[in-house]
C-alpha cells in the first residue's frame, strides 16, 4: 500500500465556508476507511484561514454531519490530540506558521511581494491584450536581497509572501490512485503563488502542508481538483527537506447526467438535507463508499464493519463517479426495511410531529397507533419524510370535493349510479361488521362482490378512494382496520352523498 514506514495517519481538513457538501463526506469517508482498515489514525482539522468565505456555524455543521454518517476521529478540535490545536486560526494565533515562513525567506525560496491587487489586475489585462493565454505571475522582488525586502516591509507597505518557483526544469510526483505513474509538470508553467496573505494569515497551500508535516500525515487523500496545485506542494516539501506523503487524489462525483460535478451551489447535496429528508446514516455510509470505490464490482450492500474490512486504496477508481439519486433512494428503502417496525416508528415520529399529525410530545396512545400503521408503509418507504403523506388520511378527515374529486370514486366502465349502489351496499355490510380486523373485513367485502356480482377491482377501488382520498394506498383491508369503524362508515357516507349530488 505504501512505502512510508510507521502507522498510517490521514486527515480530513474542510474549510467552514458553508454546509458540508456530500462530496466532502465522501472524501472524509475514504480517509476514515483507510485509517480503520490499516489500523491507523484519522484526524479532523478545520482550515478556517479564508476569512472572507468563513460562515459562522459551519464548523459545527461539519462535525454534526460527519458524526451523523458514522465517521469518528482520533484527533480533532473537540477531542484533542498530541498535535493540537486542530483549528488553523488557533494555530496561527500561536505563531506556528511564522518560523517556517522565515525559513523559506532566509533560504531565498520565498519572497515578499509588494505588488498590489490593482497592479496585479493591470498585469493580467496587459498579458491578455498581448495574447498571453495563461498569465503566470513572478514578482520583481524575487531577485531582491532579503535586506531590501525587509526594508520595504519596515516602511509599512503591505506585502504578501510568495513561493519562489524554479524557472527551469520539471517537478515530478506520483499519485497512488492513478497507478503510481509519475505526473510531470514543467516548472516554467508554474507561477509564484501566495503563501502568506497581506493580513499575515497563511493560505491553504502553505498552512495545510505545514500542518500535515507537523501532524505526521502519511497519506494525503483529497479531491482530484487539487492535482494542478500539487506541484507547488511538492516544491514546498522539497524546499523544507521533508519527506513527501503519499498523494491519492479521489475521483470527482458527477451529476446524474454526467454534465459537470456535483455542486453545493447548484445541487441539493448539503449533508444536512439528506438527514432532513429521512436518509439513514448506514445508507449514506454505504452509498458514499461506492462513489469511486468498488469491492468486487457486484456487491453493493455492505455494513460499516464490512466496508472497513474490505476497503483498500487499490480499489479506488480514477474515473469519475456518477451520482444516482434513484439508486440512493432504493438503498435507503432497503435499509429501512432492515429496521423493525418499532425502530421505524421512532424514526418517523419526528416527521409526523413536524407535519402536525402527532403531538409533541407524543402520547402513549399516539405512539401505539403509529406503530400499528407502520407495517402498512414499511415496504413502500424510501425516505422517512414520506411517512406523513402516506399516513395522513389516517389522521385527518377525507372530504369529497376538498381532499379528492368525487368523480375519482367512479371506476372505469361504471357510472355514478352504479357506484352509489356499490358503496351503499358496502356501507350497509360494514355497518353490520362485528369483527373489525383485516381478515374479517376481507371476507365480508369479497362476499359482497359475489352478492352484487361485481369484480373486486371496481368495488375495492371505490371504497379505497372514499376512505383514503387517493387511488393508491396501503392494502385496503389493513387500511380499513387502521382507519377504524366509525371513520370508515362516515367517509363512505360522505362519498355516497357527494355522488348523489352529481346525479
**Spatial distance between the Cα atoms of 252 and 57, rounded to a whole number of angstroms:** 26
Cβ(172)–Cβ(224) under 8 Å? no
- Strand locations in 164-231, DSSP E? 170-174, 182-186, 194-196, 219-223
**Residue of 36, 28, 27 whose CA lies nearest to 8:** 36
**Residue of 420, 416, 449, 437 whose CA lies nearest to 480:** 437
The burial of 169, by beta-carbon neighbours within 10 Å (0-12 exposed, 13-18 middle, 19 or more buried), is given as: exposed
**Residue of 17, 22, 13, 10 whose CA lies nearest to 65:** 22
> What kind and span of H or E run contains 277?
helix 271-277
Task: Give yes or no: 264 in active site.
Answer: yes
Handedness of CA 288, 294, 300, 304 (dihedral sign): negative
**Spatial distance between the Cα atoms of 445 and 272, rounded to a whole number of angstroms:** 46
What angle separates helix 98-106 from helix 230-240, to the nearest 10 degrees?
A: 80
Cβ(280)–Cβ(303) under 8 Å? no
Give 379's DSSP letter: T
Partner residues linked to 112 by β-bridges = 161
Please identify which of the residues 52, 133, 261, 264 carries the catalytic annotation: 264
**Spatial distance between the Cα atoms of 343 and 354, rounded to a whole number of angstroms:** 18
At residue 381, the 3 state secondary structure works out as coil
Cβ(86)–Cβ(77) under 8 Å? yes
16, three cell numbers: 467552514
* Beta-carbon count within 10 A of 488 CB: 24
Cβ(243)–Cβ(237) under 8 Å? yes
Residues with active-site annotation: 264
Amino acid at each position: 500500500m505504501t512505502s512510508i514506514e510507521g502507522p498510517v495517519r490521514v486527515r480530513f481538513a474542510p474549510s467552514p465556508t458553508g454546509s458540508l457538501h456530500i462530496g466532502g463526506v465522501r472524501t472524509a469517508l475514504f480517509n476514515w476507511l483507510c485509517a480503520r482498515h490499516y489500523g491507523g489514525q484519522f484526524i479532523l482539522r478545520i482550515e478556517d484561514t479564508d476569512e472572507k468565505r468563513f460562515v459562522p456555524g459551519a464548523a459545527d455543521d461539519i462535525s454534526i454531519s460527519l458524526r451523523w454518517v458514522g465517521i469518528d476521529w482520533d484527533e480533532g478540535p473537540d477531542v484533542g490530540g498530541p498535535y493540537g490545536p486542530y483549528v488553523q486560526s488557533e494555530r496561527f494565533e500561536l505563531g506556528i506558521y511564522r518560523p517556517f515562513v522565515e525559513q523559506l525567506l532566509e533560504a531565498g525560496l520565498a519572497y515578499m511581494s509588494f505588488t498590489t491587487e490593482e497592479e496585479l489586475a493591470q498585469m493580467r489585462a496587459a498579458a491578455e491584450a498581448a495574447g498571453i493565454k495563461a498569465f503566470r505571475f513572478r514578482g520583481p522582488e524575487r531577485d531582491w536581497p532579503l535586506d531590501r525586502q525587509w526594508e520595504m516591509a519596515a516602511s509599512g507597505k503591505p506585502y504578501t509572501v510568495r513561493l519562489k518557483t524554479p524557472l527551469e526544469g520539471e517537478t515530478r510526483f506520483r499519485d497512488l490512485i492513478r497507478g503510481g505513474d509519475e505526473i510531470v509538470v514543467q516548472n516554467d508553467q508554474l507561477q509564484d503563488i501566495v503563501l502568506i496573505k497581506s493580513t499575515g494569515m497563511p493560505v491553504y497551500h502553505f498552512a495545510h502542508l505545514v500542518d500535515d508535516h507537523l501532524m505526521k500525515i502519511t497519506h494525503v487523500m483529497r479531491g482530484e481538483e487539487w492535482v494542478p496545485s500539487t506541484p507547488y506542494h511538492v516544491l514546498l516539501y522539497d524546499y523544507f527537506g521533508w519527506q513527501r506523503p503519499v498523494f491519492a487524489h479521489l475521483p470527482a462525483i458527477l451529476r446524474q447526467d454526467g454534465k459537470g460535478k456535483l455542486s453545493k451551489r447548484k445541487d441539493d447535496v448539503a449533508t444536512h438535507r439528506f438527514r432532513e429528508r429521512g436518509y439513514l446514516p448506514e445508507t449514506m455510509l454505504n452509498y458514499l463508499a461506492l462513489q469511486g470505490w468498488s469491492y468486487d464490482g457486484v456487491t453493493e450492500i455492505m455494513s460499516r464493519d464490512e466496508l472497513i474490512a474490505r476497503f483498500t486504496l487499490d480499489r479506488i477508481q480514477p474515473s469519475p463517479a456518477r451520482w444516482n439519486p434513484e439508486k440512493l433512494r432504493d438503498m435507503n428503502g432497503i435499509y429501512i426495511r432492515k429496521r423493525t417496525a418499532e425502530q421505524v416508528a421512532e424514526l418517523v415520529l419526528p416527521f409526523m410531529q413536524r407535519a402536525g399529525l402527532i403531538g409533541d410530545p407524543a402520547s402513549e396512545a399516539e405512539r401505539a397507533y403509529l406503530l400499528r400503521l407502520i407495517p402498512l408503509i414499511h415496504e413502500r418507504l424510501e425516505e422517512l419524510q414520506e411517512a406523513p403523506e402516506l399516513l395522513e388520511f389516517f389522521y385527518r378527515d377525507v372530504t369529497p370535493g376538498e381532499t379528492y374529486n368525487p368523480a375519482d370514486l367512479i371506476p372505469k366502465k361504471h357510472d355514478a349510479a352504479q357506484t352509489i349502489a356499490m358503496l351503499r351496499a358496502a356501507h350497509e355490510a360494514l355497518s353490520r361488521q362485528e369483527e373489525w380486523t383485516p381478515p374479517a373485513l376481507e371476507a365480508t367485502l369479497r362476499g359482497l362482490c359475489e352478492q352484487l356480482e361485481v369484480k373486486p377491482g371496481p368495488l375495492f377501488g371505490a371504497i379505497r378512494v372514499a376512505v383514503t382520498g387517493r387511488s393508491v394506498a396501503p392494502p385496503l383491508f389493513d387500511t380499513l382496520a387502521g382507519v377504524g369503524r366509525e371513520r370508515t362508515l362516515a367517509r363512505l357516507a360522505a362519498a355516497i352523498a357527494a355522488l348523489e349530488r352529481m346525479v
